[in-house]
Amino acid sequence: MKEAIGLSEATILDERKRQVHRTGQGELDLACNTDSLAGAVSQRACVFCGSRVVLYPIADALHLVHGPIGCAVYTWDIRGALSSGPELHRLSFSTDLKEKDVIFGGEKKLEAALNELIDRHQPKAAFVYSTCIVGLIGDDLEAVCRRVGEAKGIPVLPVQSEGFKGNKREGYKAACNAMWKLVGTAPIDDIPPLSVNILGDFNLAGEIWMVREYFQRMGVNVVANVTGDGRVHDIRRSHGAKLNLVQCSGATMDLAKMMKDEYGIPFIRVSYLGIEDMADSLYQVADFFQDQDPTIVERTAELVRSELSQLMPKLAELRKDLEGKRVAIYVGGAFKAFSLLKAFRHLGMQVVLVGSQTGTKEDYEELERITDPGTIIVDDANPLELSAFIKEKGVDLFVGGVKERPIAYKLGLGFCDHNHERKIALAGFEGMYNFAKEVHLSATSPVWRFVPRREQTPLEVTHG
């Protein structure tokens, strides 16, 4: 074991040593929310990515990427964010800047592209994403957007998402700033008193529909989805909601804070992943509205009871095969990791590694509090570190995204995709079952018996 720890340590670049911690071993003083280290092969993307993931699911808006083709093409229809209506978000629009645009400026092209695309698609709003190059050549995005917006009569919103201006978190902020310009621009007279906005759910595989159904059963109305299955008009009147529910660590928190400051709308942090967090989120909402609707708490309790009575026996069945298996978690936002930790406890599985791309100091303190001693906590990890940690901890199953999957598979571990590209709904009580089932299907596959890390015994050959 000592040797394995030594090997892991050797994999960590000196500059990154402060971004790795082991629960219970010394004071937690994790360096985080810093720029990624050059040459470290971070799993993080950029500011543009942060903005793009947050705004992407707004289905009736035009999403125009102002820059060379790469930024648009790598983000074309890659997420499982579903829409119940228009699907404009699934197309990839770019100004496709060329060398002469870089020299002479891209404003004219941007304006022409906006006019062309707005005429063609008649969107309810347009988001114009700035990329690295635009930040350098100094195009006046604000002015172009204002001009086109006035001419076309729709909001045309610049998103200041130049890739190099920080990490993904900056991108979340830029996205919130863009959405903020929509909030408060439509009438709210018909919004009922028991009403919320859902922030930070992206309707992957239809998850927001599941959550909305719970609220419907509780008698709570949803004004705006921010942004899963999102609509421009809903966001414009989202200031009419009485409460904001904020999921996902960083993505939409800035918007919730702005709405609190400007409109006095309180927010609570919620999570729809896992049993406790899902139930707790519903109870928090019920508690908030109980003065106005004294029966809401009872209705909510009934909902949770009925869902759990169906779920728990099914989970117990799966747990039998999973008990004691060791799990590694590496995700984008740390908040998701909290919920996953609890979810794995229900399956009897032991989390031995947990990390995130964009966790904050508070996030990591919370992780240290809820993880078992010796658990590796890591910020902004890279493939070499992750592979060494996997080896050291004897991990059986990895939870992560596209970039982590081949590392796990190469070494012969089970894998659960918990990224924005997944097609399986993992939220809510039903999602907890889907999650458990996916983990079970992977972890119990016979293929692990044939991978090199397991000893192979050839089938016996008998003499006939």
Partner 1 sequence: MAESYVSTTNACKLCTPLGAALAFKGVQGAVPFLHGSQGCATYMRRYVISHFREPVDIASSALGEKHAVYGGGPNLKQGILNVMKKYSPALVGVASTCLTETIGDDVPMLLAEFRREFSDLNPPELVHVSTPSYMGTHTDGWRNTVLSLTRQLCTETSQANETVNVFPTLCSCEDLRIFKAMFREYGLTPVILPDYSDTLDGPALAEYEPIPAGGTPIAAIKAMSGATASLDLGRCLPKDTAGADLETRFGVDNLRLGMPMGLRESDAMHHALSRISGKDMPKHIVQQRGRLVDALVDGHKYVSGARAVVYGEEDLVAGLASFLTEVGIDVVLAATGSEKCGLDSAVREVTEDLGRVETEVRMGVDFHEIAERAGQLKPDLLVGHSKGYRYAREWNIPLVRVGFPVHDRFGAQRIATLGYTGAQQMFDRIVNAVLDKRQADSPVGYGYQ
Contact 184, 262 (CB under 8 A): yes
- Nearer of residues 140 and 287 to partner 1, judged by Cβ: 140
Nearest distance, CB of residue 426 and partner 1, angstroms: 20
Q: 132 vs 439, which CB is nearer to partner 1?
A: 132
Task: Report how far residue 454's alpha carbon sits from residue 10's, in angstroms, rounded to the nearest whole number.
Answer: 25
Residue 251 DSSP class: T
Q: What share of the chain is helix, strand, coil (3-state, %, to 5)?
A: 45, 15, 40
Q: How far is the CB of 453 from partner 1 (least distance, A)?
A: 5
Nearer to partner 1, 128 or 315 (CB): 128
Q: Pick the closest to residue 234 from 197, 269, 268, 193 (CA basis).
A: 197
In the complex with partner 1, the residue whose CB is nearer, 43 or 375, is 43
CB of 53 to partner 1, least distance (A): 12
Measured CA to CA, the distance from residue 180 to residue 259 in angstroms comes to 8
- Least distance from C-beta 131 to partner 1, angstroms? 8
Q: Is the dihedral of CA 277, 278, 279, 285 positive or negative?
A: positive
Q: Please, which residue, 172 or 215, has the CB nearer to partner 1? A: 172
- Determine the 3-state secondary structure of 271 from DSSP: coil
DSSP state of 456: P
- 369: number of Cβ within 10 Å: 10
Residue 169 CB, shortest distance to partner 1, in Å, is 13
SS3 state of residue 399? strand
Q: How far is residue 16's CA from residue 416's CA, in Å, rounded to a whole number? A: 27
| Least distance to partner 1, CB of residue 182, Å | 23
What is the DSSP pairing of strand 243-246 with strand 221-227? unpaired
Distance of CA 368 to the CA centre of its chain: 21
User: What is the smallest separation between the CB atom of 177 and partner 1, expressed in angstroms?
Assistant: 17
Instruction: Render 158-207 in DSSP notation, one character per residue.
Output: EE---TTSS-HHHHHHHHHHHHHTTTT-S--TT--SSEEEEEEE--BTTH
Amino acid at 413: L
For partner 1, which is the closer residue by CB, 119 or 261? Answer: 119
Q: Which residue's CB is nearer to partner 1, number 137 or number 268?
A: 137
Length of the chain in terms of residues written? 464
User: At closest approach, how far in Å is the CB of 409 from partner 1?
Assistant: 7
Q: How far is the CB of 173 from partner 1 (least distance, A)?
A: 14
Task: Report the residue number, 257 or 391, with the smaller CB distance to partner 1.
Answer: 391
State the DSSP code for 230. Answer: B
Question: Least separation, in Å, of the C-beta of 63 and partner 1?
Answer: 11
Cβ–Cβ < 8 Å for 110, 141: yes
3-state secondary structure of 41: coil
Torsion, Cα of 364, 365, 369, 374 (10° steps):
60
- Whichever of 92 and 284 has its CB closer to partner 1, that residue is 92
* Cβ proximity to partner 1, 133 vs 270, nearer residue: 133
